[in-house]
Structure 1
């Protein structure tokens, strides 16, 4: 089930984010304030997916310059492979469509499972930008656009 994230979800979301960071390297650099990081300043909204009443993943959708962006998408590593990431991604597509905005996202090149998810969902790679903040984990950010609806 996908629902709007509440303040009561922050602890679970930060714990999951730490697990994802340690197991998959996302985010590449641990945020100084993970709770604050979960809500981008341009957020249209933030949602969680739950399994048996427990938070199992998170996504935010931001908007800027007439475009929407998938942000802060992650799923409990213990629940990977169950389609939860795809559900969150599809929800982001619905949110952007309801706002009449084209949807894009960026992902560091070290996030292999996420890259497979986006490619498998029909997202189109727009290009890559080299980064200097990825240390020995990531060397570029990959830009994707949502498939046509």
Structure 2
């Protein structure tokens, strides 16, 4: 595999990002929603900015910054920090193909999103399913702060334990 590149998402990346999402779901069970229509999930109207990771032109990773939509991480952060919701966004839709891991691509995607948010004066928050221990280790290694726990609803009345994090100070 060649060298990895992280760059802003383009509309031409949709098919490759959707294929990568389906593959990650098959290996990791992530995401718990969105796989039925991966293109719609990736290009949600709530996306403010997004990036992809590519190796030799193949999309192998993705991350988005989303407008708040009632996430527990947003309410936990605003309640703890006093920030208003206009200065908060959600880091979401972060995934990297198994074959492309161990290249620091997840960290590079997160850094692209974090840098963008800092330039915009926005604090990023996220929730992660408690089962996704590798992702939790990544967030902790990158200095994200655990701000609480939540229950993530998905599917038809299903619930999963989640942990909420806030990005480190600039």
8 A Cα contact 2:96 2:105, kept in partner: yes
Between the two proteins, the alignment pairs up a number of residues equal to: 148
The residue that corresponds to 2:167 in the other structure is: 146
Deviation at 1:53, TM superposition (A): 2.1
Cα RMSD (Å) of the superposition? 2.0
TM norm structure 2: 0.79
* Contact 1:25–1:110 (8 Å) recurs in 2: no
- Counterpart of 2:28 (choices 21, 24, 31) is 24
Whole-angstrom CA distance in 2 between matches of 1:57 and 1:141: 22
2:94 is matched with 73
Aligned with 1:11 (options 5, 10, 15):
15
Unaligned segments of structure 2, at least 5 residues = 69-84
Change in Cα spacing, 1:108 to 1:138, as seen in structure 2 (3 Å) is farther
Tell me the residue number matched to 1:88. 109
**Could you tell me how far 1:30 is from its partner in structure 2?**
4.5
Report if the CA contact (8 A) 1:21-1:30 is conserved.
no
Q: Is the 8 A contact 1:28 1:138 kept in 2?
A: no
Q: Which protein shows a greater Rg?
A: 2
Larger helix share, 1 or 2: 2
- Tell me: CA distance 1:125–1:134, structure 2 relative to 1, closer, same or farther (3 Å): farther
